[in-house]
């Protein structure tokens, strides 16, 4: 599904927010980011990866976090 056409109910938006925060917290304990721009870019990538996974049907909190972290960590 393309994100431009996606819509999410309030519970799903809350899930995505928790997954983004969880992935960021986990990543932040492992990686030092030298600048705020780097942090913004990484947070943006995390959010996009989670939204894409949700748009594709994923609703499991842990799998959303893993998908985001895999996008960052390779």
pLDDT in tens, 21-61: 999 998 888 877 767 778 889 999 999 999 999 999 999 99
pTM: 0.85
Residue 4 counted as domain residue:
no
Residue 1 counted as domain residue:
no
Do the Cβ atoms of 54 and 8 come closer than 8 Å? yes
Ramachandran sector of residue 8 (left: φ over 0; alpha: ψ -120 to 50; beta: rest): beta
Q: Which two tokens stand for residue 3?
A: 């994100």
Residue 54 counted as domain residue:
yes
Do the Cβ atoms of 1 and 55 come closer than 8 Å? yes
Range of the domain at 13: 9-73
Residue 10 has pLDDT above 80, yes or no: yes
Residue 3 counted as domain residue:
no
**3-state SS of the chain: helix, strand, coil percent to 5?**
75, 0, 25
């Amino acid at each position: 599904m393309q994100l431009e056409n996606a819509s999410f109910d309030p519970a799903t938006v809350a899930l995505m927010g928790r997954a983004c925060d969880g992935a960021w917290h986990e990543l932040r304990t492992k990686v030092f980011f030298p600048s705020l721009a780097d942090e913004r870019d990484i947070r943006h990538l995390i959010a996009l990866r989670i939204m894409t996974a949700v748009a594709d049907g994923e609703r499991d909190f842990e799998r959303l976090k893993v998908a985001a972290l895999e996008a960052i960590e390779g």
